Amino acid sequence: MIRNLGFALVLSLPLSQFAGCSGDTGEEGFAGLAGLESKEGASSGTDRPYLQPGPGDRLTFPADFGPHPQHRIEWWYLTANLETEAGEPLGLQWTQFRQALEPRAANAPAPASTSWPLQAAWMAHGAVSWKGQHYFAEKLARGDIGHAGATALPLQVWLDNWRLSGNADNSRWQLQANGEDWSYDLTLSIEGAPVAHGEEGFSAKSVSGEGSMYFSLVDIAISGEVRLDGEVLLVTGKGWFDREWSSQLLKTGQKGWDWFALHLDGGDKLMVFRLRDDSGGFLSGTWLPAGGDPVPLRPEQLNLKELERDNDVPVRWLLRIPDYQVELQLNVPPGDYLNRGLYPYWESPVSVSGSHTGEGYMELTGYKLR
């Protein structure tokens, strides 16, 4: 889930950065917003405020698959645990972010591209992890001039030639992305309804109630083709898709994010996150029992403990949920899974052992990554 309140894409950008084209980028061009505490109605430099989700808000489908232009930041996010034909595990990630520079009402038309508007900027990440090697690429684009955007139905999320495309009822998607020495072309079959996290979709991120709208698709069958250094791999497996939007980012004192999405072998599923601070952090999650309804998890129901670090990155964890007889060890396979983009963060597969077995994904932000 950058899912990632630790990620804000831009507050100010040189116009030349997005003047006419998009593509891979260096260090310049973006200013981070970690620590910003936006309030409902916060000034945006226009008469229209940014909207901030709250406990009374509800999800609406299919509209919420599409963009939310009056919110400051949002993302579409897929992780996948796949296997090659030889049975070798392969991890995969795709994320696209939208950062508003100026809010726009949901029903308002987009400005004419000929006016070179700068109401939003977009960033996309793609990664593949296989046999201890980690392939990553990042792309940037200026919004509203055709290089990047999103629609709800059919689902379309694109940045240049990176594209997630859905069919008429959003039950089947195609995902395509590529980097210098990698690419993937995948078919995603959506096999379950969206799962609302928190209070019917409003996910609190602190004890004082700041938060975001957040839902997931957790039953996704994936098949397709991955190319690595000229080698073609046919893959199958399962994915986890997150949608999240807000106008608030990390609170002052919050230092980063630990996020886990797990498919357990008995059919249960689990999402847990922690926003770290000096007091230990704010924990939340959702327990998804096989064949049952999602159960929101309160902070006091969760216990998350680091067991081992490698180069200052936690690579082995203990996760306990006593109310559901869950005690899991989460282990990162050998390798360096740092996404070395404008805002470096760790994104890796994990294996699950203990009271349950399974696999999933882990995302870490705010550590001393190098």
- Give the pLDDT band (50/70/90) at residue 46: low
**Cα→Cα distances 199→204, 269, 286, Å:** 8, 18, 11
How do residues 79-123 score in pLDDT, each as one tens digit?
A: 999 999 999 999 999 999 999 988 887 777 777 776 666 778 999
**pTM for this one?**
0.88
What single string gives the DSSP state of each residue in 34-63? TT----TT---SSSSPPP---TT----TTG
| Range 182-195 burial, b when 16+ CB lie within 10 A, else e | bbbebebebeeebb
- Helical H segments across 102-252, by residue range: none
- Give the pLDDT band (50/70/90) at residue 276: very high
Domains of the chain, first to last? 23-34+46-109+119-365 (2.40.370.10)
When mean pLDDT is compared across 20-24, 174-178, 361-365, the lowest value belongs to: 20-24
- Give the pLDDT band (50/70/90) at residue 21: very low
